[in-house]
Amino acid sequence: MRRIRKRQALAVVALAAVVGAFAVTAATVQAGGVGSALPSKIGKGEGRLNVIEWPYYTDDKGPGQFARKFETQTGCKIHRQDAGTSADMFALMHANGGGGGGQYDLVSASGDASLRLIYAHDVKPINIKLIPSWKQFLKVFKSPAHNTVNGVHYGVSVQWGPNTLIYNTKKVKPPPKNWNPIYSKKYAGHITIPNNTIQIADAALYLMKKKPGLGIKDPYELTKAQLTATVKLLKRQKPLLKRFWNYATDEITSFKNGDVWLGAGWPYQTLQLQAAKAHVKEIVPVPTTGWADTWMLAAKAPHPNCAYMWMRYVTTPKVEAKQAIVFGETPVNPLACKYMNRISKGSCNAYHLNEPASYFRKIKFWKTPIPQCGWKKSNSCMDYNAWEQAWTQVKG
């Protein structure tokens, strides 16, 4: 299941290519991507759709089986290549000349990979007007920074989730109200955080409030000095940890065993633990980070019509609801709420889909660190390569 395998420690894959890709400017990306006209309509399906996905993201065997109806309706037979990490996705898309190598049509990229794919020219712009459900999306997911550059859409948002603070109600008292406890000695030896480079952004977001003098404006756009300060915080935190977790199941096991009392996670872990009668609750200590996935069209997609058909289908409310329940995540289409509750009572609220607009403005969704500092309008920010090196220092 995708939630078991996804968002683990990111391997250093094809970093030289990534660094080279990041040397270009946003204007170059836009100009390069719009060289060919966008399609004005979806043509006849080619009979096949090749995807790189988080496992079962085009589910045909699990509880949802939401892909079977698509295949029947369109005649587009889905062929799947599972990826365990964002780095895997980038490597597959960038291989064999890039752009999906003329083999792949779509990739279900998370925010920590999507800009890498855009700047490497492995994905191309889409005509969002061909995705009718896009108009129904929560505003924050219509043109997010992780998949839209200078107003050009390089994919369609599909699912998301906030990063949460999970705690043992028997051991953590009083209940936490913010992220402070995971940096405090009070629960030393009983804390866990993800083994994931993008975790640097969580610490940077914490420092935005704690040390405003650092001048951090965006947790994903850090200067060398800001990254150094963030790494220093993470190194101080490390002795407080029981362990880093690689998979969602690792964190679940740690809470069940009782050796972890406090941890950064997602609603999926909380709901699994509560279903197992564990004494846990979660808070979403806004501001917080969060992840969001995008279906992105390969630059050399051999079956673009089937790809557009899938993006149109998978963002409809009923299908979004099925995927949400299968994978423990949240739709970008709020009309999915009533269908979620029909499948699993109370799930819309549990997965935070019915929150007010102000809530979403406080979630800083993953995006790939690149040299371009949007808040400084300069190229003085540290790229993903630097973040990878920094995370290696943190883990020691």
Q: Is the peptide bond before 212 cis (omega within 30 degrees of 0)?
A: no
Q: Kindly tell me if the per-residue pLDDT of 22 is higher than 60.
A: no
CATH of span 162-289+382-395:
3.40.190.10
Q: What is the pLDDT of residues 336-386, one digit of tens each?
A: 999 999 999 999 998 899 999 899 989 999 999 989 888 888 889 999 999
Q: Which CATH number fits domain 2-160+292-358: 3.40.190.10, 3.30.1490.190, 2.40.30.10, 3.30.70.100?
A: 3.40.190.10
Coil/strand/helix, residue 201: helix
Residue 238 tokens read as 């490390």
Q: Following DSSP, what letter does each residue of 263-277 receive, concatenated?
A: EEE-HHHHHHHHHTT
How, if at all, do strands 156-162 and 288-297 pair? antiparallel
State how far the alpha carbon of 194 is from the alpha carbons of 95, 99, 119, 232, 307, in Å: 28, 30, 26, 17, 32
Average pLDDT, the chain: 90
List the one residue out of 49, 39, 35, 107 whose CA is nearest residue 78.
49
pLDDT-derived band at 63 (thresholds 50, 70, 90) equals low
Contact 162, 290 (CB under 8 A): yes
The domain locations on the chain are 2-160+292-358, 162-289+382-395
Inter-axis angle of helices 199-210 and 224-237, nearest 10:
100
pLDDT at 207 over 80: yes
Pairwise CA distance, residues 221 & 145, whole Å: 12
**Cα–Cα distances in angstroms (integers) from residue 351 to residues 31, 46, 115, 320, in the given order:** 38, 36, 26, 13
* Higher-pLDDT residue of 13, 175: 175
Q: Which residue type is seen at 318?
A: K
Domain 2-160+292-358 identical in fold to domain 162-289+382-395: yes
